[in-house]
Structure 1
Amino acid sequence: MNRIDRLTAILTHLQSKRTVRASELAARFEVSLRTIYRDVRSLEESGVPIIGEAGQGYSLMEGYRLPPIMFSREEALALLVAEKLVEKSLDDQSSKFFKEALIKIKAVLKSSEKDLLAEVQDTIQVLKSSSSKIMNRSSKAFQAILQAISEKKVLSTTYVTFDPEQMSVRDLEPIGLFHSYEQWYMMAFCRLRGDYRTFRLDRFSKLQVTDISCSTSKHPSLQSYLDKIASEQKLHQIILEVPDGSLKYLVNSKYNNGFVSEERVGNKTVMTFMNSSIEGFVRWIIALGDMVVVMEPDLLRNRLAELIGEIKEMQRD
């Protein structure tokens, strides 16, 4: 990148946030801090009103731009969600181009919208994504949760648990959203249970933002909560061997069960999963019993044999 292009890109980057540190610019353009200082000084000498604050970074004087379009609060949040999804969904090169384009789009946002994105940036994460539809029935809940997070408001909800399937009314203080295995989840403080819980978005039959403010601003961050879950869960590596003719029956559900990778071996596919629940996994594959071979672990193979035996006994009765 020549210096003229870099100066233009720096100006665009400065418009994408309220403040930008020199170290951030240096890392993005792969140049030294001294070069960034020199470039900023050149922009100032050309008449660009850059404000430098010690320990804070650079910012542009409010109003220095002529935005061709204006974004609503909801559209600004949608940009952030798209950025998180694309980061995990595209190849490295396409992801890089998308981020460059997004920076240019963010440059026209008002300061209040930039502040909003900075505030909710770490409350949304994508742990694993696939090419299939990922929002489906969760979309309305998703927008309400984003609103509640940004406004720090309590959510009034009706939630249907999975096992056993029961409906409960809960007031929730949302902390963040994360996407994993083709589903969106919300981490929230549940006032009913007095503790933090994880909720799957498509299991809300009602979700409404209230006028009640959250009880505290000292909730743990989303990342610290996810780290805690990961440390508490013991993940089992599961390897299945699947003949070509049976592979199609696993395509739509493999991501919901911890799919990691697959490898072609002759006329079969060896699939690797990471899953914390042997019982849950075995009850999934029992429906595919004549289509897959459990290669490991022995714990899963033995439990599958036990469950088949239990089914036989039930049928005799």
Structure 2
Amino acid sequence: MNKTERLLSIVMELQRSKLQTADELAEVLGVSVRTIYRDMQALSEAGVPVIGETGLGYSLMEGYFLPPISFTTEEAVSLLLGAEFIEKRFDPTYRNSARSSRRKIEAILSRPIREETTRIQGSIRLLQKDEMAVMVREKINLGIIREAMLEGKKIRFTYHKRVAEADGNRVNVRTVSPYGLAHDEQNGWLLLAFCDLREDIRHFRVSRISDLTVTEDTFQTPDNFNLESYRPKDTRSIRVCVIFNPDITDKVEEANNYYMETAESKEDGYHVTFRVREPEELLSWMLGWGADVVVTEPESFKNRIREEIEKMKERY
């Protein structure tokens, strides 16, 4: 990166974030802090309104923006694919905004870049499942949750758990303070929220939420909560050990079950260990492999598998 590119990158970083220290800029750009000091002087002499606050960092004068910039083909494809993902997986408000953004990006591309970008996009496809009722509900819920977060209001909903709780109930009503949303490849959209019932942060799959309403009760996200760095407590304490038919090892690896902890190929099969809160969480998944899997422990789960197989035999 030459000096001109570096100066442009510094201005773009300052536009993106209100305040940046010399150390942060140096790390992002891969240069020394001394170089950043020299670049700041060069920007000031060039008329860029850089404000240096002792002990805090650098910022741009309010209202200063760079004129429109050009994109490389790779940058344009990245932005357009990102916009397409948002169109397919977010609620209607963001979907419409993503579509509008995509049109604006395409409008400022030069003809050669636009043609090359169109060609590359034609060879990349983001597959999407059919608009099943559960996906439609998920998108509607996303919009309501997002608005509640912006307004700082609690939400109330009926939650449908996959596994019944100790009292045998799979459905209950929760009132929560929505802290953030996260997207997981296996589980889809997850709501991270402080649950009034559990008095702790809990995760809820958005697709399992129904009867969602925004309450008049307000909340404030704690200062020490950071969605980017937050890591949930791992309460999975039960080990489940199984042996798969070695002929389907590749299929098991491809399935990439969330609870899988260790895996090893041995002479008698593919040995896999899972760690779960309740073995019941694996019941349907295990049964799906039929005779190609054997549960070795715990004994209680082996018995549970037998019980379910007996019930299945009665139906046939």
TM-score by length of 1: 0.62
1:48 positional shift: 0.3
Structure 1 stretches of 4+ moved >6 Å = 260-266, 312-316
Work out which structure has the larger RCO, using CA pairs closer than 8 Å and 6 or more positions apart in sequence: 1
- Structure-2 separation of matches of 1:65 and 1:269: 62
1:133 positional shift: 5.8
Equivalent residues of 1:22, 1:58 under 8 A apart = yes
- Structure-1 separation of matches of 2:144 and 2:301: 41
1:206 is aligned, of 211, 220, 229, to 211
Equivalent residues of 2:175, 2:196 under 8 A apart = yes
1:140 positional shift: 2.6
User: Does the C-alpha gap of structure 1 residues 306 and 198 become closer, same or farther in structure 2, counting only changes over 3 Å?
Assistant: same
Equivalent residues of 1:174, 1:188 under 8 A apart = yes
Map 1:125-140; keep pairs closer than 5 Å: 136-137=135-136, 138-140=138-140
* Matched position secondary structure for 1:47: coil
Within the alignment, does 1:176 sit opposite 2:180 as a pair?
A: yes
Equivalent residues of 1:257, 1:281 under 8 A apart = no
* Matched position secondary structure for 1:178: strand
1:23 positional shift: 1.1
Structure 1 counterpart of 2:297 = 299
* Matched position secondary structure for 1:158: strand
* Matched position secondary structure for 1:229: coil
| Alignment coverage as a number of residue pairs | 252
| Structure 1 gap ranges (5+) | 70-78, 87-104, 106-130
- Structure-2 separation of matches of 1:239 and 1:308: 12
- Structure-2 separation of matches of 1:279 and 1:67: 58
User: Does the C-alpha gap of structure 1 residues 136 and 278 become closer, same or farther in structure 2, counting only changes over 3 Å?
Assistant: same
2:191 is aligned, of 164, 186, 196, to 186
**Cα RMSD, aligned residues only:** 4.3
- Structure-2 separation of matches of 1:199 and 1:218: 19
Deviations 1:237-292 (A, max 9, x none): 756434546965996xx3554246878899x9947564324343255313423123
* Matched position secondary structure for 2:291: coil
Deviations 1:60-104 (A, max 9, x none): 1111115659xxxxxxxxx9xx69x99xxxxxxxxxxxxxxxxxx
Structure 2 counterpart of 1:101 = none
Structure 2 counterpart of 1:22 = 22
1:2 positional shift: 1.5
Within the alignment, does 1:234 sit opposite 2:237 as a pair?
A: yes
Equivalent residues of 2:246, 2:269 under 8 A apart = yes
* Matched position secondary structure for 2:51: strand
Deviations 1:191-227 (A, max 9, x none): 355554332211111223344321x544862669964
- Structure-2 separation of matches of 1:286 and 1:279: 11
User: Does the C-alpha gap of structure 1 residues 62 and 3 become closer, same or farther in structure 2, counting only changes over 3 Å?
Assistant: same
Equivalent residues of 2:176, 2:196 under 8 A apart = yes
* Matched position secondary structure for 2:52: strand
* Matched position secondary structure for 1:173: strand
* Matched position secondary structure for 1:199: strand
User: Does the C-alpha gap of structure 1 residues 42 and 155 become closer, same or farther in structure 2, counting only changes over 3 Å?
Assistant: same
Structure 1 counterpart of 2:53 = 53
TM-score by length of 2: 0.62
- Structure-1 separation of matches of 2:156 and 2:67: 38
Structure 2 counterpart of 1:221 = 225
Deviations 1:93-125 (A, max 9, x none): xxxxxxxxxxxx9xxxxxxxxxxxxxxxxxxxx
Structure 2 counterpart of 1:280 = 281
